[in-house]
A and B are shown apart, each in its own frame.
Chain A
């Protein structure tokens, strides 16, 4: 199965570093 991610899923990780 190809690993696909939609836009919303990807954006969900954008600011993960700020919170870490």
Chain B
């Protein structure tokens, strides 16, 4: 029905309905309380309306996150569709917040809503951006860390869309590994 409405308005429907979440680190509250659903959208036009309406990631205060996930998947490891998965992680140096961060995040969002991972787009769960004083992070989460072919394809296409040089390597970590180790010791499962 949503599809018909969208099309009747002349809007361009997306393959998936997406939910944008916002996390603000308030130590006095429970983690779940700090996580808020902003809104959901399922057309190209509504994506841009939302994107142009919200604060750019580079303007968020430290400790905040945006997460964009397929409707029905919550932006946390524990979600049944994330649990066996992992993430392609982009770690940025501090000065990149003012040069690349917003551009990288927009490319990430477009890869998701445009289903730009060919036959493997169904492997994608969502993407997260963490704004941290020690260096910001952007990641695309996929649902099955053992699905080597899909994970590698997504990593290669993602790297291309970000315009990263061949000299720059990005790593994929399984959530199960990230959850149990301190970030510097987390095992990297794949590299592209």
Give me the interface of A with B, judged by CB distance under 8 Å: 2-7, 9-11, 13-14, 16-17
Contact = CB atoms under 8 A, between A and B. Distances in A.
Given A11-B110, A16-B45, 11 more contacts: A2-B15, A4-B15, A4-B121, A5-B115, A7-B107, A7-B116, A10-B110, A13-B45, A14-B51, A16-B48, A17-B48
15 contacts: A2-B15, A4-B15, A4-B114, A5-B12, A5-B14, A5-B44, A5-B115, A6-B116, A9-B114, A10-B44, A10-B114, A13-B44, A13-B45, A14-B48, A17-B49
A2 B84 CA distance: 25
Interface of B: 12-15, 44-45, 47-49, 51-52, 107, 110, 113-116, 121, 161
Nearest to B121: A2
Contacts of A6: 114, 116
Residue from A5, A9, A17 having most chain B Cβ neighbours under 10 A: A5
Nearest to B45: A13
